[in-house]
């Protein structure tokens, strides 16, 4: 029997990778891809599945309650996977209200629609599941002086930016709907994803793009902020496993103990990009340290023990392999990069970094 998934934000970075992963792995499924197509959503990400009848696209804002409800009436969804979110911390500092609208109110709209559609009249919801894709940023920051300390699912939430606050609030609504109404839910909290199709405002694709153009590589503060890096396909596999095998109501951290600081990442990008294109002008001289981001968390580190013990998931892509694959993908797909950065991004980049990222 065909299982039907609503995937919100399915034209964005992680969402589009998830759509491609699921259609590549499962034959008997249908994915209804719901995306507002903001600057970071791009149907070019899904060009390889054009004509695949298992993929249906709907351009809908998840904050539009009527349209979301219409989708639940049109399709008999078995699962909802909510990737839809404003996700860039700098933008959240600049305009927090947009993040509250999409990340919190949009989540509530989806929860209400799922509850209305799936309730069997006696308080049961059958085999349906709502999965909220969250972030390790909801936990706050770890100290660089305690490298053996990690975020666990029981770590209290302590968000430090408008972005992470909006994601934490959404998580709380999801858990509240489980407790109050019995809605079958799961939450996954991932570390920093990297891989193909990431919009070039994020660290890795931004640095590749700027290095090729011999533009400054802006690094916040001293560059010693540490993140745990997770190859996006490994993340997609984890979500699939949670949907298929997890006990409902559970939260799972998804990370890989691949912690690197920003200085290392940028230098690795310089090294690989220079070697790949044979351009000796791509050097560490392009690095420019800029004023630190407000509320910049020092370190994230995720313990993925629970998902490994419960479901057998582990990250299959080592960082050393994944970072090279990712850099080479952006080098081989400059037409895609140029296309997605031709509009809003250029204005935004100049406003955020232009005056302070000059070599």
Q: Report the catalytic residues.
A: 136-137, 163
Please state, in angstroms and rounded to a whole number, the distance separating the CA atoms of residues 319 and 256.
9
> Could you tell me the strand order of the sheet in which 55-59 lies?
55-59, 29-35, 3-8, 79-82, 129-135, 185-190, 251-254
Cβ proximity of 32 and 18 under 8 Å: no
Token pair recorded at residue 89: 């911390």
Token pair recorded at residue 168: 């934490």
Structure tokens at 54: 């298992």
Distances (CA, A) of 224 to 62, 261, 266, 349: 36, 5, 11, 22
Q: Kindly report the CA angle at 56 between 54 and 59, in degrees rounded to 5? A: 165
- Which letter, b or e, does each residue of 38-69 get, where b requires 16 or more Cβ atoms within 10 Å of its Cβ? bebbbeebbeebeeeebbbbbebbbbebebbe
């Amino acid at each position: 029997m065909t299982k039907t998934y609503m995937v919100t934000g399915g034209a964005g970075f992680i969402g589009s990778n998830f759509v491609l992963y699921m259609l590549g792995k499962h034959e008997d499924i249908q994915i209804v891809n719901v995306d507002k197509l903001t600057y970071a959503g791009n149907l070019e990400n899904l060009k390889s599945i054009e004509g695949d009848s298992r993929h249906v696209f709907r351009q809908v804002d998840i904050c539009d309650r009527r349209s979301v409800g219409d989708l639940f009436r049109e399709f008999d969804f078995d699962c909802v996977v909510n990737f839809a979110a404003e996700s860039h911390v700098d933008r959240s500092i600049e305009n927090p209200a947009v993040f509250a609208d999409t990340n919190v109110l949009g989540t509530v709209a989806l929860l209400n629609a799922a509850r209305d559609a799936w309730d069997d009249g006696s308080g049961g919801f059958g085999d349906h599941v709502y999965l909220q894709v969250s972030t390790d940023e909801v936990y706050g920051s770890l100290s660089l002086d305690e490298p053996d300390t990690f975020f666990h699912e029981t770590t209290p939430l302590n968000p430090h930016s408008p972005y992470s606050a909006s994601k934490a609030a959404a998580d709380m609504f999801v858990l509240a709907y489980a407790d109050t109404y019995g809605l079958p839910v799961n939450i996954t909290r991932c570390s920093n994803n990297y891989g193909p199709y990431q919009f070039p405002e994020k660290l890795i694709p931004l640095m590749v793009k700027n290095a090729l153009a011999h533009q400054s590589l802006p690094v916040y503060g001293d560059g010693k902020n540490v993140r745990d890096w997770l190859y996006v396909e490994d993340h997609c596999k984890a979500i699939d496993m949670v949907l298929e095998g997890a006990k409902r109501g559970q939260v799972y951290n998804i990370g890989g103990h691949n912690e690197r600081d920003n200085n290392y990442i940028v230098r690795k990008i310089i090294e690989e990009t220079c070697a790949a294109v044979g351009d000796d002008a791509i050097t560490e001289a392009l690095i420019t340290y800029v004023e630190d981001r407000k509320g910049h968390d020092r370190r994230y580190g995720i313990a993925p023990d629970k998902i490994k013990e419960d479901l057998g998931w582990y990250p299959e892509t080592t960082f050393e392999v994944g970072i090279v694959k990712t850099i080479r993908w952006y080098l081989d797909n400059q037409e895609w990069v140029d296309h997605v950065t031709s509009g809003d991004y250029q204005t935004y980049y100049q406003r955020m970094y232009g005056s302070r990222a000059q070599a």
